[in-house]
Structure 1
Amino acid sequence: MSDQVLSKHRHISFTAHYTGYIWYQMGISHPLLATSKGKSLAFIANPVETWAEKYVGGSMRTTLKDRHIMLDDTLKQLIERYPDLQVLEIAAGLSPRGWWFREYFPQIDYRELDLPEMAKTKQAALKQINAASPDVLSVDLFTEDFKNAFAVFDPQRPLVIISEGLINYFEKSLLQQLLKSIVNYGQNFAVLHYLTDIYPEPIKNKLASVIWNSSKLLKVVSRSAFSFHFQTPQEARVFFQKAGFNQVDVIQPSLYFSEKQLNNGNAEEHLGDLVWMIHAEK
């Protein structure tokens, strides 16, 4: 069977379809980055999501919204701080972030990276949106090829690495390898930041067992090592510092959205949020 008769999205995971469409529903994405499969998944998931928002205190789509806003806000702050910023979004998938930031902050150098098939699909969509869009980089994060992605940037300028919906899919040993690679390959840059979301253990949630069982199902259907790694912000902070980051902030939505004008939302205890954001600096 030829490639022409196969769906161009056949290699994209169902989670990428779903998140891509939720971002489109949020009004922050482009129609070419949303798929019909994502629309179907969002429709099917809607009753469960609505139930979770009522009884669990949050759902997948609310965590998608929280993490996306916190990551975007922080990236905007870094652009204000470093007008000549460079950005590398790893495992970019169908994320609209690169497209959006290139539209509104054309002075920055924003590149996206993913595995070959996803990179090919994303690049085709971006070129339809804007023919001047830069090529999507294609490397495996766990091979030495990853360092080639850093080579396209100017080490005299600040660099931000950003990921969303990625690191919970790795076992802790692989996650530590990824973090050390970012620190190693980015060590010669004038400034190096890493922004990511992370799902902590749901120890403060009244339906923790439901969330745990759901995560086990996600692990099976996504054929990944999806798991929760940390119970406290301090555990996450120490883990990232072990990889070589000097400053690590763990941001929780319940503080961030209520007091973000007063502080950056740091807290020493798990406040019950389903997702956190980590801002690490070398």
Structure 2
Amino acid sequence: MTDQLSKHRHISFTAHYTGYIWYQMGISHSAFATKKGKTLAAIAHPIESWAEKYVGGSMRTTLKARHTMLDDRLIELIQQYPDLQVLEIAAGLSPRGWWFRKNYPDLVYRELDLPDMAATKQAALAEIDQHQPQLISVDLFSDDFQRAFDLFDPKRPLVVISEGLINYFDKALLQQLISSIAHYGAAFPAMHYLTDLYPEPVKNKLAKIIWSSSKLLKLMSRSAFSFHFTAPAQAEQFFKQAGFPEVEVIQPAIYFATENTDLNPHEHLGDLVWMIDAKLK
């Protein structure tokens, strides 16, 4: 078990908000909708509604976009690798593990989080089904992280997935995390790391407000929350330097386009979130 006083423990409060938003959207289970999440969602609702009306998007629409893209890509990988295994780190109150285990009964899917959040999630899962697998609690930034990988069959492909996590770390810690995933993932015949990533909101007309909000989130979560990249190529190069030779940066503007578009995938298209699919082999 990791230290209960992990310096990253305060990040977990955002899991309550996102968990409730997913429930509101009809893509989650009521067991993952906490009272704290309901309160946070109620506080944010007026601002979110204003942003959706006058800006064309909000935090909750961004949450839906990133969740949809990650789920879609994971389904594609399951179809590509029938014997796939999945490790979701910082799983929080996401319904993903529950949904995929329900819809793909043969899928080996394990979730990992800090001890307090892992206990909360385990209790929620027990409300749905007592036979849900035990959550894993290890320190992502020590050799202890390897224990999570040791739980999987090294003869079968592995996907590591995270959502709403990596912007909470400075670049040095982020590179350490990605490098560790690449290092421990090297034991598997094929390995992908799927994650969302918030780029700098340089092309958004409310960039200053978003920047101010990020500073508040940084304070509330007692983390190093920040935006690290202004162009897809920067993110791609960062992941490559951390040990992933193949990196794809997916932007919602292109992903959700309903018709052929001339948008340049190498430019920042103004989306608040991107998806990364980093492949090791």
Shorter-chain TM range is: over 0.9
- Partners of 1:26 and 1:39 in 2: how far apart? 13
Partner of 1:143: 142
- Partners of 1:230 and 1:208 in 2: how far apart? 14
Instruction: Return the offset for 1:11.
Output: 7.7
Instruction: Return the offset for 1:165.
Output: 0.2
CA distance change for structure 1 residues 75 and 271 in 2, over 3 Å: closer, same or farther? Answer: same
Kindly indicate whether the alpha-carbon contact (under 8 Å) linking 2:195 and 2:276 is maintained by their aligned counterparts in 1. yes
Kindly indicate whether the alpha-carbon contact (under 8 Å) linking 2:140 and 2:177 is maintained by their aligned counterparts in 1. yes
Equivalent residues, number: 271
CA distance change for structure 1 residues 43 and 50 in 2, over 3 Å: closer, same or farther? Answer: same
State which drifts further: 128-137 or 53-62.
53-62
Identity %: 69
Residue by residue over 1:191-210, the C-alpha shift from the partner in whole angstroms, topping out at 9 and shown as x without a partner, is 01000000000011111111
Partner of 1:108: 107
The amino acid of 1:184's aligned partner reads H
- Partners of 1:266 and 1:152 in 2: how far apart? 41
- Partners of 2:121 and 2:181 in 1: how far apart? 23
Instruction: Return the offset for 1:87.
Output: 0.1
State which drifts further: 74-83 or 45-54.
45-54
Instruction: Return the offset for 1:266.
Output: 7.7
Instruction: Return the offset for 1:17.
Output: 1.0
Q: How does 1:74-89 map to 2 (within 5 A)?
A: 74-89=73-88
Residue by residue over 1:240-276, the C-alpha shift from the partner in whole angstroms, topping out at 9 and shown as x without a partner, is 000110110000001000159x79x981000000000
Instruction: Return the offset for 1:126.
Output: 1.0
Length-normalised TM-score, structure 1: 0.93
Correspondence 1:190 to 2:178: no
Residue by residue over 1:61-81, the C-alpha shift from the partner in whole angstroms, topping out at 9 and shown as x without a partner, is 011000000000000000000
Point out where structure 1 has 5 or more consecutive residues left out of the alignment.
1-9
Q: Does the residue aligned with 1:277 lie in a helix, a strand or coil?
A: strand
Q: How does 1:147-226 map to 2 (within 5 A)?
A: 147-226=146-225
- Partners of 1:75 and 1:39 in 2: how far apart? 28
Partner of 1:255: 254
- Partners of 2:165 and 2:57 in 1: how far apart? 19
Residue by residue over 1:37-90, the C-alpha shift from the partner in whole angstroms, topping out at 9 and shown as x without a partner, is 211211111110111223333211011000000000000000000111100000
- Partners of 2:205 and 2:149 in 1: how far apart? 43
Partner of 2:6: none
The amino acid of 1:144's aligned partner reads D
Residue by residue over 1:203-239, the C-alpha shift from the partner in whole angstroms, topping out at 9 and shown as x without a partner, is 1111111111111111111111100000000000000
Correspondence 1:275 to 2:270: no
- Partners of 2:117 and 2:10 in 1: how far apart? 7
The amino acid of 1:52's aligned partner reads A
- Partners of 1:175 and 1:33 in 2: how far apart? 28
Instruction: Return the offset for 1:119.
Output: 1.1
Kindly indicate whether the alpha-carbon contact (under 8 Å) linking 2:139 and 2:145 is maintained by their aligned counterparts in 1. yes
Residue by residue over 1:4-38, the C-alpha shift from the partner in whole angstroms, topping out at 9 and shown as x without a partner, is xxxxxx98833111100001011111111111121
Partner of 2:3: none
Runs of 4+ residues deviating >4 angstroms: none
Partner of 1:34: 33
- Partners of 1:271 and 1:93 in 2: how far apart? 29
RMSD: 1.7
Q: Does the residue aligned with 1:161 lie in a helix, a strand or coil?
A: strand
Structure scoring higher RCO (CA < 8 A, sep ≥ 6) equals: 2
State which drifts further: 190-199 or 52-61.
52-61
Point out where structure 2 has 5 or more consecutive residues left out of the alignment.
1-8
